[in-house]
A and B are shown apart, each in its own frame.
Chain A
Amino acid sequence: MQQKSEAGYYFGPFGGRYVPETLIHALEELEEAYERYKDDPEFVEELNALAKDFVGRPTPLMFAERLTRKWGGANVWFKREDLAHTGAHKINNTLGQILLADRMGKERIIAETGAGQHGVATATVAALYGKECVVYMGDEDTRRQRSNVVRMKLLGAEVRPVTSGSRTLKDATNEAIRDWVTNVEETHYIIGSVVGPAPYPRIVRDLQTVMGREMEAQARERFGGDPDAIVACVGGGSNAIGAFYPFVGRESVRLVGVEAAGRGLDTGEHGASLTGGRPGVLHGNLSYVLQTEDGQIREAHSISAGLDYPSVGPEHSYLKDEGLVEYASVTDEEALEAFVTTARLEGIIPALETAHAISYAEKVAKDLGPGANLLVNLSGRGDKDVDVVADALGIDAHEAEEVSGDG
């Protein structure tokens, strides 16, 4: 047990491998492949070369000057993952996993996706390596994130809408696991966050930690030391873990994960598993889960499809219980406000997921006060969200055209 814990199998009491027996062999195979290749010079070189040339790493650290001035607190810095290829941090994980899949001789790739960012990032690397790709996406989400569906199809992936349950990310994940159980010999499942059975939470964390390492170096270069705080949004929690990991345990760095409070924590319609859930088992691991008294999984709600998930990565549960990271939550309305503010003041349309982090960053910046340095992981861009936001804010594109036509 202790050995497994050290290998990132459990995180305190959380994590583990709660899956049907059929998958055990595949998980062991993945674990072996990862152990074998993670420090293999050829593997590392291939990954680094693609990170640079294909993804565009390192992504910049940008001083958000006008937002800093508006809030009147700490200096606000954006880690620009929105500038990574495909528009979000998700590609860091899919790239590493496709290299593993390739070495394991798997010719078929499957994935689940919520907002579609992970689906696009998976379809992208599958195209790059010439693999067959199937992406499961909740039927509800294929409508919310239409443009990402089209992108995946253009990249040659098959998108399978999922009509079971709440028709969102949770159900897409069930369907992906069912597919994997059925086609396990020739298929690799590229899971999209630090969730799922061991060894996934650790592999995804390691691959996403490239962000945290860059942040550390860039912070030193730009302001000569560690940041005073890092804020990131948490759905499954991969962008947050990737940003936090090198800093965990450093007392001078305040780490804040921001969950989706949806329509408000007291309404029950939210995605804040850490704040509003309790430990349980979903999708192969033990973690905080939104559930009924009887252990039925509750439907999450968030305006952002990527945070619309009733559980969270097991390492976050551990970090919460150990008090190493603080977790807060932001409502749909507050996220929308931050979305618009960031667009207007900084010329960046952030993903709705990211807007949750930005919204809470205002509180943290004010807490810290002028002179301190606050990093926000700008995990993705919001092009995919414009329809949802237009609906929510009543922006009519057609009306704008008419006005310009009259002029």
Chain B
Amino acid sequence: MTGSERLQAAFSEGRVALVPYLTAGYPTLEGAYSVGEAYVEAGADVVEIGVPFSDPLADGPTIQDTTTRALENGADLGYCLELASRFADRVPVLLLIYYNSVFARGVRRFLDDAAGAGVSGLVIPDLPIDEALDFREMAAEKGVAICPLAAPTTDDERLDKIAEAASGFVYCVSVAGVTGAREKLPPGAVELLRRARSMVSVPVVLGFGISSAGTAVEAGAEADGLIIGSKLMQVVAEEGPEGAGAWLREVREALDSAVCAKAGSRD
């Protein structure tokens, strides 16, 4: 199975897929592994591993702090790929990576290494579809899925092109802004998810701002999957990997019982 196929399968389980994020190398090189383990045990459908970058301009303060620490801990790309490979046989792994990290290694070599580590898909926040033409072809050859972003500012015409470019899923950004936990789901998020779902054949996943079982349930009603990053990194900082696993399990349960309630009300 290619990475794209594994990802598609993860989103076809008939439930909202949970995609927890972790910063590679945070809180420590070995600690990041424990975080991933906790995610997998809590029922993560996909794990997203962030490759630390010195200038993460799509990220808010929470994730910036973790990447700064991770870089101090010595989390280089080689380590990140090794971390990915330790989970890849159990769960599809996504890499969240800024384009310079890809470019510095050389696009072809990077894709070889990522595929070799068992990485299923890539989220590159600063590589919009227009700059990714050749990259997409090369990634497709390696069976590594591309998961482009769509924002509330994205119009239908462009959303259509994004849908065409997506080989894994479309990553809908809930709000114009950087990553970070938010108390409420922004109003534009639901609108974007509905638009995307009507136009996109691959799964539609929501990220940025999911901070509680409540926001997860709300977003889960419209999305095929949820990416949760900043909130989990906060929990890791405060309560360690076990705390993050417990938090994720609560969200899983809330999502499942919301589906049951919905099904029940239909009967």
Residues of chain A having any CB pair with chain B under 8 Å:
16-26, 164-165, 170-171, 174, 177-178, 181-185, 279-284, 286, 289, 291, 293-297
B contact residues, total (Cβ < 8 Å): 39
Q: Which of B3-11, B149-157, B219-227 contacts A (4 or more CB under 8 A)?
A: B149-157
Cα A181 to Cα B152 with chains together (Å): 11
Q: Are B176 and A22 in contact (CB under 8 A)?
A: yes
Q: Are B177 and A181 in contact (CB under 8 A)?
A: yes
Secondary structure of the A contact surface, majority rule: mixed
- Is B105 an interface position by the 8 A CB rule? yes
Q: Are B176 and A181 in contact (CB under 8 A)?
A: yes
Determine which of B60, B68, B98, B173 lies in contact with A21 in the assembled complex, contact meaning CB atoms within 8 Å: B173
Given contacts A16-B131, A295-B101, contact A21 B149 (CB under 8 A): yes
Can you list 14 pairs linking A and B with CB atoms under 8 Å apart?
Answer: A17-B128, A20-B128, A21-B154, A24-B128, A164-B68, A171-B55, A181-B178, A182-B178, A281-B99, A281-B103, A282-B55, A284-B126, A294-B76, A295-B100
Q: Are B178 and A25 in contact (CB under 8 A)?
A: no
Determine which of A22, A183, A279, A291 lies in contact with B151 in the assembled complex, contact meaning CB atoms within 8 Å: A22
- In the assembled complex, the CB of A271 is this many whole angstroms from the nearest CB of chain B, namely 16
Q: Are A282 and B154 in contact (CB under 8 A)?
A: no
Interface string of B175-211 (1 = CB under 8 A from A): 0111000000000000000000000000000000000
Shortest beta-carbon contacts, A-B, top 4: A295-B104, A22-B151, A182-B177, A21-B149
Whose C-beta in chain A lies nearest to the C-beta of B152? A22
Determine which of B58, B76, B77, B103 lies in contact with A20 in the assembled complex, contact meaning CB atoms within 8 Å: B58
Cα A182 to Cα B153 with chains together (Å): 11
Whose C-beta in chain A lies nearest to the C-beta of B101? A295
Q: Are A184 and B128 in contact (CB under 8 A)?
A: no
Question: Which residues of B are found within 8 Å of A185, using beta-carbon distances?
Answer: 153, 176
Determine which of B100, B150, B158 lies in contact with A291 in the assembled complex, contact meaning CB atoms within 8 Å: B100
Given contacts A20-B125, A296-B71, contact A281 B177 (CB under 8 A): no
Cα A145 to Cα B163 with chains together (Å): 48
Q: Are A293 and B104 in contact (CB under 8 A)?
A: yes
Cα A125 to Cα B77 with chains together (Å): 44
- In the assembled complex, the CB of A54 is this many whole angstroms from the nearest CB of chain B, namely 33
Question: Which residues of B are found within 8 Å of A178, using beta-carbon distances?
Answer: 57, 60, 178
Interface string of B80-111 (1 = CB under 8 A from A): 00000000000000000011111111000000
Determine which of A25, A181, A296 lies in contact with B155 in the assembled complex, contact meaning CB atoms within 8 Å: A25
Cα A32 to Cα B176 with chains together (Å): 21
Determine which of B131, B150, B155, B176 lies in contact with A18 in the assembled complex, contact meaning CB atoms within 8 Å: B131
Whose C-beta in chain A lies nearest to the C-beta of B59? A178
Cα A289 to Cα B55 with chains together (Å): 13
Cα A295 to Cα B110 with chains together (Å): 12
Question: Which residues of A are found within 8 Å of B98, using beta-carbon distances?
Answer: 281
Q: Are B53 and A296 in contact (CB under 8 A)?
A: yes
Q: Are A282 and B100 in contact (CB under 8 A)?
A: yes
Question: Which residues of B are found within 8 Å of A296, using beta-carbon distances?
Answer: 53-54, 71
Cα A20 to Cα B154 with chains together (Å): 11
Q: Are A280 and B100 in contact (CB under 8 A)?
A: yes
Question: Which residues of A are found within 8 Å of B178, using beta-carbon distances?
Answer: 178, 181-182
Given contacts A24-B154, A25-B153, A178-B57, contact A294 B104 (CB under 8 A): yes
Q: Are B153 and A20 in contact (CB under 8 A)?
A: no
Given contacts A20-B151, A21-B149, A184-B176, contact A283 B101 (CB under 8 A): no
